[in-house]
Amino acid sequence: MNLSARQFNQTKLCQLIVDIIIALEQFNRINITFGHGLRDALLKAVAG
């Protein structure tokens, strides 16, 4: 039960991070390439 709760919290945290990156991309189009690279790296890390 505790492990499941921890995994759920990690999933929520990762989604929050991705949402923040997407918001930053929309806010600053100049850094969109960096933002996409960072997001892709995060998604690969989450996918394991």
pLDDT at 19: 92
pLDDT at 34: 66
Per-residue pLDDT of the chain (48 residues; tens, 9 = 90+): 567 888 888 889 889 998 998 888 777 765 556 667 777 888 888 887
Host domain of residue 37: 21-48
User: Strand, coil or helix: what is 28?
Assistant: coil
Could you tell me if residue 29 is inside a domain? yes
Could you tell me if residue 37 is inside a domain? yes
Rounded Cα gap, residues 37 and 30, in angstroms: 13
Distance, first Cα to last Cα, the chain: 22
Q: How many other CB atoms sit within 10 Å of the CB of residue 23? A: 11
pLDDT at 32: 55
pLDDT at 14: 87
Could you tell me if residue 30 is inside a domain? yes
pLDDT at 16: 92
Could you tell me if residue 5 is inside a domain? no
